[in-house]
Amino acid sequence: MATVSARDEHGDRGTPGRSMAEDEAVNRALGLSTGWAVFSYLISGMLAYGGIGWVIGHFTHIALLFPIGMMVGLAIAVGWIIYRYGRQ
């Protein structure tokens, strides 16, 4: 799947000094790093808030706080992802 930039639509050959294959490789690498960043936000949100929920639940003897903390962390992470990557 090739990413088409605005310059390619108007006949420009891409970034000066780089071939179109190199531009495409850079675009793929940027997409891959964005994917890993999104995955990291999801996992870290669940771990952080799940951990907080587990600690509070451990001391209050309310086991339900662990899964609630994980869901809250997931919701916050999804909100952050939409805020950061959802706009173009």
pLDDT tens-digit profile of 49-84? 999 999 999 999 999 999 999 999 999 999 999 999
For 23, 25, 26, 75, 84, the CA distances from 81, given in Å and listed in that order, are 26, 24, 22, 10, 5
* pLDDT > 70? residue 87: yes
> d(Cα 5, Cα 27) in Å, to the nearest integer?
10
Q: Please, what is the average pLDDT of the chain? A: 82
pTM, two decimal places: 0.65
User: Taking 80 as the threshold, does the pLDDT of residue 15 lie above it?
Assistant: no
Phi, psi of 67 (to 5 degrees): -65, -30
Give the 3-state DSSP-derived string for 45-79, with helices as H, strands as E and coil as C.
HHHHHHHHHHHHHHHHCCCCHHHHHHHHHHHHHHH
The per-residue pLDDT for 13 is 53
pLDDT at 42: 96
